Amino acid sequence: AQSVTQLDSHVSVSEGTPVLLRCNYSSSYSPSLFWYVQHPNKGLQLLLKYTSAATLVKGINGFEAEFKKSETSFHLTKPSAHMSDAAEYFCVVSDGKELTGGGNKLTFGTGTQLKVEL
């Protein structure tokens, strides 16, 4: 079984200040972890992914995340927030098990709404 906990439902930062979105996971297997971003009335865009290579993962738009197995965490950070970063962010885990017949099942966190203020 796998699960994801996003510790904050809402985060508010000022433009130009650091962003930290927290995520803890639980998985019976070596997990693959992802962060997705969703702007209003849009689909989900992949920000970055961890698949058992380097523990510090760099993504698009200046975001990065660090996989910490001992803490079962995969927090998302960005050094300097921009107004365009305001969106919903989902932490997602895949336990790596292939579904019978192919494909894989993702488990989503409940999401963190990021607000960026001037």
Partner 1 sequence: DTEVTQTPKHLVMGMTNKKSLKCEQHMGHRAMYWYKQKAKKPPELMFVYSYEKLSINESVPSRFSPECPNSSLLNLHLHALQPEDSALYLCASSQGRGPYEQYFGPGTRLTVT
* Residues that bind partner 1 in the complex, under the rule CB under 8 A: 31-32, 34, 36, 41-46, 49, 51, 90, 94-106, 108-111
Choose between 105 and 115: whose C-beta lies nearer to partner 1: 105
Q: Looking at residue 14, what DSSP letter applies?
A: E
To the nearest whole angstrom, how small is the minimum distance from the Cβ of residue 17 to partner 1?
25
CB 114 within 8 A of CB 21: yes
Residue 86 neighbours by CB under 8 Å, 6+ apart: 114, 115, 116
Residue 32 vs 77, nearer CB to partner 1: 32
* Nearer CB in complex with partner 1: 80/104: 104
CB of 48 vs partner 1, minimal distance in Å? 9
Nearer to partner 1, 58 or 105 (CB): 105
Widest distance between CA atoms in the chain: 49
- Residues of 29-59 as b/e, b for ≥16 C-beta within 10 angstroms? eebbbbbbbeeeeeeeeebbbbeeeeeebeb
Q: How far is the CB of 77 from partner 1 (least distance, A)?
A: 20
